[in-house]
Structure 1
């Protein structure tokens, strides 16, 4: 006996790295002929400050990152449209991206999260690098597809 899982909403976190580009490029052709919607999520890193308030330069930097993410999302939506895939996107401020991705997946009732991660070079990086992909995988609220 087998079970068929209907995948309606696919979350692809996007941070403009080659690994997130790879995840987008691989997932679009896979879902082209299915009745699925793709959700793009970008987290603008909300850096911790030593004081109790953000400076003007902190606010400008966040606004600059958000504007850049908006341009990326417009391109991603056009790319999805080429495959006939409906899409939506969200840009959020976050101090811990993995937590934000998990919360968004729960809020949107995502059926699948698709991610890829950057190559880590040295042994020391492998020991100390806490990957967002690994953190999401460990606490994912739905199936997870890793694109190597």
Structure 2
């Protein structure tokens, strides 16, 4: 019995850990039936007023443009390997919630993530990882890349 994984979601934030997740999953993909979706959540910073300032909007747009370049590179790498890929950049106030909602909305079959190393004991105790939060509430199977 084989499992058909049609849609694979890779939350991508251009960190070494998200790069590792991409590199490790590429060889495992069934090129004939699987599609990768790269998702970047741009943190929507809270403001003290009721509206965003011009500099807030400019910073958000710069972040979006930077991430578009990352996504284009990832899609080219996937294309070279014969893997169908798409990408989405969204604003988010809580990345884990946005990833989970996106996975539900898109009927994703697998979420693939890796997380950065946490240094001190105190960080391990109090660090609320996006990866951990997604793992706990994922609407589909979750693959953690150590």
Instruction: Give your verdict on TM over 0.5.
Output: yes
In the other structure, the counterpart of 2:49 is 51
In the other structure, the counterpart of 2:22 is 24
Secondary structure of the 1:39 match is strand
CA distance in 2, matches of 1:139, 1:75: 30
In the other structure, the counterpart of 1:78 is 76
Gaps of at least 5 residues in structure 2 are none
In the other structure, the counterpart of 2:66 is 68
Describe the superposition over 1:115-144 as per-residue Cα deviations: whole angstroms up to 9, x where unpaired. Answer: 000000001111111000000000000000
Describe the superposition over 1:62-103 as per-residue Cα deviations: whole angstroms up to 9, x where unpaired. Answer: 001000000000000001111101011000000100000001
TM-score of the superposed pair, with normalisation by structure 2: 0.97
In the other structure, the counterpart of 1:15 is 13
CA distance in 1, matches of 2:105, 2:30: 24
Distance apart, 1:50 and its partner CA:
1.2
TM-score of the superposed pair, with normalisation by structure 1: 0.96
In the other structure, the counterpart of 1:88 is 86
Secondary structure of the 1:135 match is helix
CA distance in 1, matches of 2:32, 2:21: 18
Distance apart, 1:5 and its partner CA:
2.3
Q: After TM superposition, where is structure 1 displaced by more than 2 Å over at least 4 residues in a row?
A: none
In the other structure, the counterpart of 1:39 is 37
Secondary structure of the 2:74 match is helix
Secondary structure of the 2:8 match is strand
Gaps of at least 5 residues in structure 1 are none
- RMSD, aligned α-carbons: 1.0
Distance apart, 1:35 and its partner CA:
1.6
**Residue 115 in 1 paired to residue 141 in 2?**
no
Distance apart, 1:6 and its partner CA:
1.2
Which segment is superposed worse, 53-62 or 134-143?
Answer: 53-62
